[in-house]
A = this chain, B = another copy of it.
Amino acid sequence: MSLFLVLDILGTIAFATSGALTAMHKKLDIFGIFIIGFVTAIGGGTLRDVLTGSTPVIWMEQTFYIYTIGVTVLLAIFFRRYLNRLRKSLFLFDTIGLGVFTITGVETGVQNGLDPIVSIALGAMTGTFGGVIRDTLCNEIPVIFRKEIYATACIIGALAYVILYNVGVNRDFLYIATSLTVITIRLIVVRYHISLPSFYVSNGNEEE
C-alpha cells in the first residue's frame, strides 16, 4: 500500500468523522448523519472530478471510499461522546485530510496540463469543498469563510507542490512536503490564534 493511499484513507476517515459530528450536533437523523459524513469526505473530490470532466467521479469507480466512510460514520455514532471530548485530537486528522485532499486536487491539475494557478485553485477546492457543502446543507455560513486560516493553508501547500514538482523531486517527498506545509501552517495558526483580516462595510441599503 503506497504512502499516498494511507494518507488518503486517513483523510477520508477524518472528514467523515467531522461531518458525522456536525450532523449529530444539528440533531439530524441517522440518514442525515450518513449523508453529511459522506459529502464532507467526498465533496471536494467530486467537485474536482466534475470540473475537470473526470467522470464517473472517483467514488463511483473506487468503492472503498463508500465502505470506509460507512464504517467511519457508524463508529462515530457509537463513540460520539468519546469523540466529542477528543475534538482537539481530531483536529490533527482533519488537518491530514486537508493536506491529502489538497494534493489530489493539485496533482489532477498538473497531470491535466492545466496552468499552475488553476492547479493550486483545484487543490484548495478539493481540500475545502467538502466542508463548504457540509456547512451549507446544515444551514450555516461555511466555517472556512469565517474562522482561522484554513483554505489559505491549502493554497500555500498547493503552491509548495507546484514549485517542488517543477524542481523535479521524488514523489514521496513531494507528498510529505506538501502535507507537512499544510499541517504546519494549521498548527501554528491555531496555536497562536492567527486569523485573516476582514473588511466590513455596511451594506448601504439605507442609501439605495
Q: A-side interface residues toward B, CB under 8 Å?
A: 21, 23-33, 35-36, 46, 50-53, 55-57, 59-61, 63, 66-67, 77, 80-81, 84-85, 87-88, 109, 112, 114-115, 117-118, 121-122, 132, 136-142, 144-147, 149-152, 195-204, 207-208
B33–A199 touching, CB < 8 Å: yes
Q: Which residues of B contact A204 (CB under 8 A)?
A: 84-85, 87
Residues in B with CB closer than 8 Å to A50 are 50-51, 55
Residues of chain B with a CB closer than 8 A to A117's CB: 63, 66-67
The number of times this chain is found in the oligomer is 3
Partner of A137, one of B31, B66, B145, B201: B145
Q: In the complex, given contacts A21-B201, A50-B55, what are 12 additional A-B residue pairs having Cβ atoms less than 8 angstroms apart?
A: A24-B200, A25-B202, A29-B145, A29-B198, A31-B149, A32-B145, A51-B56, A51-B60, A67-B117, A88-B208, A137-B145, A139-B140
CA distance A137 to B196 in the complex (A): 19
B207 lies within 8 A of A145 (CB): no
A46 to B125, CA, bound (A): 14
**In the complex the two chains form, is B56's CB within 8 Å of A25's CB?**
no
Tell me which of B32, B77, B87, B208 contacts A208 (CB under 8 A): B87
Contact A112 B35 (CB under 8 A): no
Contact call B88/A201, Cβ cutoff below 8 A = no
Residues of B within 8 A of A140 (CB): 139
Q: Are B201 and A81 closer than 8 Å at their CB atoms? A: yes
Whether A201 contacts B29 in the complex (CB less than 8 A), given A53-B55, A60-B114, comes out as no
CB of B198 within 8 A of CB of A66, answer no
Indicate which residue in B21, B59, B195, B203 contacts A118 across the interface (CB closer than 8 Å): B59
Shortest Cβ distance from A198 into chain B, in angstroms?
5
Closest approach, in angstroms, between the C-beta of A121 and any C-beta of chain B? 7
